Chain A
Amino acid sequence: MSRDAILGAIRRGLRRGPLPDDQKLALRARLDAHPRHLIPARSQVPRPAQVALFIANVEKEFGSVTRVPTLADVPGAIADYLAAGNLPAHFAMAPHPELMDLQWALLQPRIGRAQPSDLVCLTQAFAGIAETGTLMLPAEPTRPTTLNLLGDIALVVLRASRIVGPYEDAWNWLRARHDSTTGGFMPRNVMLVTGPSRSADIESTLELGAHGPRQLHIVLVDDDPAAIA
Chain B
Amino acid sequence: MQITSPAFKSNVAEALADPHLQKALHFTRPRFPERRAAAVAALPEFETLRDIGRDIKNHTLANLDFYLEIWADNVEKSGGQVHWCATADDARAAVLAICQRVGAKTVTKGKSMISEELGINEHLEKHGIEPVETDLGEYILQIRGEGPSHIIAPAFHLNREDWEESFRKTHTDLPADRVFGERRDIMVEARTILREKFIAADVGITGANFLIAETGSSVIVTNEGNGDLTQTLPKVHIALASIEKLVPTLEDATSLLRLLARSATGQDFSVYTTFSTGARRPDDLDGPEEYHVVVIDNGRSAMIGTEFQDMLRCIRCAACMNHCPVYFTVGGHSYGWVYPGPMGSVLTPSLIGVEKAGHLPNASTFCGKCESVCPVKIPLPKLMRHWREREFERHLTPGAMRNNLAIWGWFARRPQLYRAATRVAAWGLGLLGRKRGRFSWLPFAGGWTDGRDLPAPEGDTFFARYARQQRHKS
* A–B contact, 8 Å CB criterion (strictly below): yes
Q: Which A residues fall within an 8 A CB radius of B?
A: 1-3, 5-7, 9-15, 18-19, 23-24, 27, 30-31, 34-38, 40-42, 57, 61, 95, 112-114, 116, 131-132, 134, 139-141, 144-146, 148-150, 167-168, 171, 179, 181-205, 207, 209-213
Q: Do residues B277 and A187 form an inter-chain contact, with CB atoms below 8 A?
A: yes
Count chain A CB atoms within 10 A of each CB in B31, B232, B270, B291 and give the residue with the most.
B232
**Which B residues from 406 to 426 make CB contacts under 8 A with A?**
none
Instruction: Tell me which residues across on chain A come within 8 A of B135, comparing CB atoms.
Output: 201
Instruction: Tell me which residues across on chain A come within 8 A of B214, comparing CB atoms.
Output: 31, 34
How many angstroms from the CA of A140 to the CA of B282 in the assembled complex?
Answer: 10
Q: Do residues B271 and A196 form an inter-chain contact, with CB atoms below 8 A?
A: yes
Stretch at the interface among B62-70, B383-391, B437-445: B62-70
Q: Do residues B269 and A134 form an inter-chain contact, with CB atoms below 8 A?
A: yes
How many angstroms from the CA of A129 to the CA of B301 in the assembled complex?
Answer: 37
In the complex, residue of chain A having the shortest beta-carbon distance to the beta carbon of B217: A186
Instruction: Tell me which residues across on chain A come within 8 A of B283, comparing CB atoms.
Output: 141
Q: Do residues A188 and B85 form an inter-chain contact, with CB atoms below 8 A?
A: no
B43 at interface (Cβ–Cβ under 8 A)?
yes
Contacts A12-B301, A139-B284 known; 15 new A-B pairs at CB < 8 A = A7-B68, A7-B69, A13-B301, A14-B304, A35-B249, A132-B269, A139-B287, A146-B233, A168-B251, A184-B78, A184-B215, A190-B275, A192-B275, A197-B272, A200-B265
- State the interface size on chain B (CB cutoff 8 A): 106
User: 7 smallest A-B Cβ distances: which pairs?
Assistant: A212-B225, A13-B304, A13-B305, A9-B301, A210-B224, A201-B137, A141-B283
A9 touching B302 in the complex, CB below 8 Å, given contacts A149-B229, A195-B271: yes
Smallest beta-carbon distance B220→chain A, Å: 10
Q: Do residues B225 and A202 form an inter-chain contact, with CB atoms below 8 A?
A: no
Q: Do residues A34 and B226 form an inter-chain contact, with CB atoms below 8 A?
A: no
In the complex, residue of chain A having the shortest beta-carbon distance to the beta carbon of B69: A7
A14 touching B191 in the complex, CB below 8 Å, given contacts A186-B215, A199-B223, A201-B135: no
Interface string of B337-360 (1 = CB under 8 A from A): 000000000000000000000000
Q: Do residues B224 and A212 form an inter-chain contact, with CB atoms below 8 A?
A: yes
B116 at interface (Cβ–Cβ under 8 A)?
no
Q: Do residues A189 and B232 form an inter-chain contact, with CB atoms below 8 A?
A: yes
B469 at interface (Cβ–Cβ under 8 A)?
no
- Show 20 residue pairs from A and B whose CB-CB distance is below 8 angstroms, ordered by the A residue: A2-B86, A2-B90, A13-B306, A19-B63, A37-B254, A134-B273, A144-B286, A146-B232, A167-B254, A168-B254, A184-B277, A186-B278, A187-B277, A188-B276, A189-B274, A194-B268, A197-B272, A199-B187, A200-B265, A211-B229
**Which B residues from 243 to 288 make CB contacts under 8 A with A?**
243, 248-252, 254-255, 257-258, 265, 267-287
Instruction: Tell me which residues across on chain B come within 8 A of A140, comparing CB atoms.
Output: 284
Instruction: Tell me which residues across on chain B come within 8 A of A14, comparing CB atoms.
Output: 62, 64-65, 304-305
A211 touching B45 in the complex, CB below 8 Å, given contacts A134-B269, A201-B153: no
